[in-house]
Amino acid sequence: MRILKGIPASSGIATGKVFLYEHETLEVPHEQYTDDGRAAKEVVRFSEAMAMVRGDLKRLGQTSLDGDQKDILQTHLMMLEDPEFDSGVRSYITTNKVNAEWAVEVVATQFVKTLEAAGDPALRERSVDLKDVSLRIMSMLMGVKRVSLATLSEDVVLVSDSLLPTEVLSMDRMHILGIALNGSGRTSHVAILARSFNIPTVVGLGAITKKVKAGDEIIVDGNHGEVVVRPEWSTAQNLRDRYDRWIAHEEALREVATLPSETTDGHRVVLKANVEMVDELDAVLRSGGEGIGLYRSEFLFMRPGGLASEEEQFAAYRKVVERMQGKGPVTIRTIDVGGDKVVPGLGIDEENPILGWRAVRFCLSRKDIFRVQLRALLRASAYGELRIMFPMISGIEELEGVLLILEQVKDECRKAHVPFDENVQVGTMIEVPSAALCADILAKRVDFFSIGTNDLIQYTIAVDRGNEKIAYLYQPYHPGVLRFIRMIIEKGHAAGIPVGMCGEMAGDAMSAVLLTGLGLDEFSMSPQSLLEVRKIIRGVSFSEAQALAEHVMKMDSYLKINTYVREWMHERFDYFTSV
């Protein structure tokens, strides 16, 4: 028996025999030529391959796929329509006099490297989609028939080095009980598809394909991120018992989806979701999300093909706003590039990007790009409740700068008779210590605050959250961080504006009561965390939460605070240890 730990990507537990599926490396031919006439022939071959791949994907789209799955497939079709990729391949063929396969390999690799260089794991996962599309094009050019998972004769657990999104879309899902992968992450399209198909999945297992044989008995626990190879009877029974407890826990959570987010003595908070893709909205609505607290617009700019046009942005924003109509407002963060978010062609290449030209600093320098986004946002505000939020504001000068540009764009829309919400709410993230200290000044100019704990913790403690050597210093319960959070909330309330939080801390079940006690009005988190946090908040009184916060704020060490909060939560919520 062998137990492997990975990343839980899709909940549930599956037991069955291993179906081992490993990809062979595609050996792309590298051919150069001197005949200028061949360039035209290679360009034609490339165009024909693109057309055939496009046709295959469109036929796949005609099968029984739902909204989430169709959206992911549409992403792949959009990549095939990307003019920058298309022109890049054609140019490489003619300039370097190489065969089409080689040109696709080179151009796709350049795009993939740009995406993989980003610090955001969700963005890095988007590179998988580009690899998928380019591999299909190269296979088509080479006449290579890709192995299909579309027809299986028995129920199996799929174990693979990796899976491409189109492989998941086309596989025989009736016979695949579970999935275990060497790599990938929870935010990948493969993980999203596995969740939408309700297939228990664990990813990030390292080299599991080298540790199993075809036909081995295997258990995939998608709740805890464990895979058991050739399990003993007692282990299998323990996992079955664990699964029964999880099912009961999930059923209890679903019961609170439509209930108000309030404490036992009637104190209300608002629970919203952080999203970056339209296909996440179904999960938000199923979990009773009361709006979108953070829509990450930079993903429209960091895709292959570069900057999104005004029309593309408008369509994306409108789609989200209309989908959430009547459920709650949609807060869209203006472009937050730089730092660990790389966009090709913008010249953002710095030795110290975390403290560099990023977010509003970039927008104030590239007003041409910023104005286009603001026009798209204002246009979309005519179709539902949209709120605009500015990231990385460090003081009043930056805030007044972006508000001036917003007013100028509003005037342009009025003169052009473009409809928009004249009362569109505007807020700022508080994620820089200077902004926290000046929160009373900033509060006079905005309608709401949203605390970005990911950066606030990083800047407060002076710890690079991407540096593994000092990761232990990144502590949400550091007294300095908690004092900043309390200060921001108090200054926001003194000015009569609501204060929310959209960093990872907002979705941490252990922190829910503490943040409620500190007076936080709105929590915004991943859709998967909404039910858990709502159930916790409904399980305590506001007076209890305030007492917890008051006690914690007197403590002098994050180690003591961590221990105290965990013990306090475990005493009141048994399922933290039982599920």
Residues with catalytic function: 189, 502
Dihedral pair phi/psi, residue 520, rounded to 5°: -60, 135
CA–CA separation, 110 and 90 (whole Å): 15
* Cβ count within 10 A of residue 30: 11
What distances in angstroms separate CA 365 from CA 342, 381, 395, 398, one per listed residue? 16, 25, 16, 11
CA-wise closest residue to 535 among 509, 511, 516? 509
CB-count exposure of residue 509 (10 Å: 0-12, 13-18, 19+)? middle
Q: What's the number of CA atoms in the CB half-sphere (13 Å) around residue 236?
A: 12
Q: What's the number of CA atoms in the CB half-sphere (13 Å) around residue 309?
A: 5
What percent of the residues of the chain are helix, what percent strand, and what percent coil, each to the nearest 5? 50, 15, 35
CB-count exposure of residue 250 (10 Å: 0-12, 13-18, 19+)? middle
CA–CA separation, 429 and 522 (whole Å): 13
Taking only Cα atoms into account, the Rg of the chain, rounded to an integer number of angstroms, comes to 25
CA–CA separation, 416 and 419 (whole Å): 9
DSSP category for residue 557:
-
Q: What angle do CA 546, 548, 550 make, to 5 degrees?
A: 65
Q: What angle do CA 572, 577, 578 make, to 5 degrees?
A: 105
